A and B are shown apart, each in its own frame.
Chain A
């Protein structure tokens, strides 16, 4: 492995940041699609030059972009996301039925085995699949048609399907998460789905331990232990060691367990990272000090990582898709902020550098480790 490519989606375009294995000098290209909200940019693990980008706008709706040369040039592909059959209704904020309406693509998850296959998580919550490189999209409607679907309700950011996790050892198994319906698992390639929210507690819900209704913010796994899931819920950091069948809280000594992002070290499956955010009312770090927390024990015992991060007057947020790890021998950790910084730690979190600042608010960060 000799270089890395960071794919940053922002509120006003996409940026591509490239560096060699030292990760101390960066070349930046962009903005790509300037002026558009780029919710997510992600490359295919099969062909890293194949990159997909979700481009969206309140004026012009959804556009999907595809690159075949690592982000140097782009072409538009299919942007037609039609729900299967009569979409029916979910619950609106006030509990009344509200028709399913497509708004945007939040998350793109390229297949682990086929560069032409990619999944899209959309708002209003649904999962789409393309097997022709994004040209056409078909809903995997078993998810939305789950018996609980009419009871799903949007979170503050909309009813978005924002997390898609593919099991690297089992092509049949995938996980998704929806705000604010919760987490679901499929064991038949997306045909049927089961809610996997046992052990989650959401105190302000009418039924705090309900089968659905939990505001899951993000799920991450390590490829070597696909049955172990880590979750940043609205409040609470959780883990499951049985593919989501049961969750336990591992917030431990975190100063607050509200947050959005969570990720796992590339080579240490019990080393995980979160960015604690003061509360769901404040959406910025405690005391204006930006701190990543690392647990080397899969949760419960956490240490603050602060070297190189602003420790005063910092009032940014780190959104759910805005943290990623590379696969270099010394694992690099990356995150982007709503203040337009992209930080890199080339040493597993011990020290941090702002590899870019003054970008538009960062919505997503992905990293590709290139040969």
Chain B
């Protein structure tokens, strides 16, 4: 849990998520989507909600079975790289409150 983050467990949150270009096209959405998350806002609960709303994205952000983040994707929020945090760590309060989006970013890789 982030230091100073508010307790989230009992609330319903409207969370903003920014998807990378190719996943926007796949899901046929704009640059930002908004999702309702009941309970604690974590990478896992956010991605669960993304996949529930947009099933065509299953397997594109994390592995179908192991649920591990795909290696060339990163999770950013509030100017921090949260990619290596536990997927069950509480996201910053600003994300839970909808003030800041969770950014799902395709790594700049390749030539």
Compute how far the CA of A370 lies from the CA of B59 in the bound complex, rounded to whole angstroms.
35
**Chain B CB within 8 A of A88 CB:** no
A82 partner residues in chain B, CB cutoff 8 A: 64-65
**Chain A CB within 8 A of B26 CB:** yes
Compute how far the CA of A79 lies from the CA of B23 in the bound complex, rounded to whole angstroms.
14
The stretch among A59-67, A145-153, A178-186, A245-253 that forms the contact with chain B is: A59-67
- Encoded as 1 (CB less than 8 Å from any B CB) or 0, chain A from 320 to 360 comes to 00000000000000000000000000000000000000000
Compute how far the CA of A59 lies from the CA of B23 in the bound complex, rounded to whole angstroms.
10
Size range of the chain B interface in the assembly: 10 to 19
Residue of A35, A57, A80 touching B58 (CB-CB under 8 A)? A80
- Contact A59 B72, beta carbon cutoff 8 Å: yes
Asked whether A35 and B56 contact (CB < 8 A) given A58-B72, A59-B107, A82-B65, the answer is: no
Size range of the chain A interface in the assembly: 10 to 19
- Contact B64 A76, beta carbon cutoff 8 Å: no
CB distance from A154 to the nearest CB of B (A): 19
B109 partner residues in chain A, CB cutoff 8 A: 58-59
- Contact B58 A79, beta carbon cutoff 8 Å: yes
- Encoded as 1 (CB less than 8 Å from any A CB) or 0, chain B from 1 to 29 comes to 00000000000000000001111001000
- Contact A59 B106, beta carbon cutoff 8 Å: yes
Residue of B22, B56, B61, B65 touching A57 (CB-CB under 8 A)? B22
**Chain A CB within 8 A of B78 CB:** no
- Contact B64 A35, beta carbon cutoff 8 Å: no
Residue of B22, B64, B65, B110 touching A60 (CB-CB under 8 A)? B22
CB distance from A184 to the nearest CB of B (A): 26
B23 partner residues in chain A, CB cutoff 8 A: 60
A60 partner residues in chain B, CB cutoff 8 A: 22-23, 26, 60-61, 70, 73, 106
Closest 5 CB pairs of A and B: A76-B56, A60-B60, A59-B72, A59-B106, A80-B64
13 more contacts with CB within 8 A, not counting A57-B22, A59-B106, A62-B59, are A35-B21, A58-B72, A59-B20, A59-B70, A60-B23, A60-B60, A61-B60, A61-B70, A63-B56, A63-B60, A79-B60, A79-B64, A82-B65
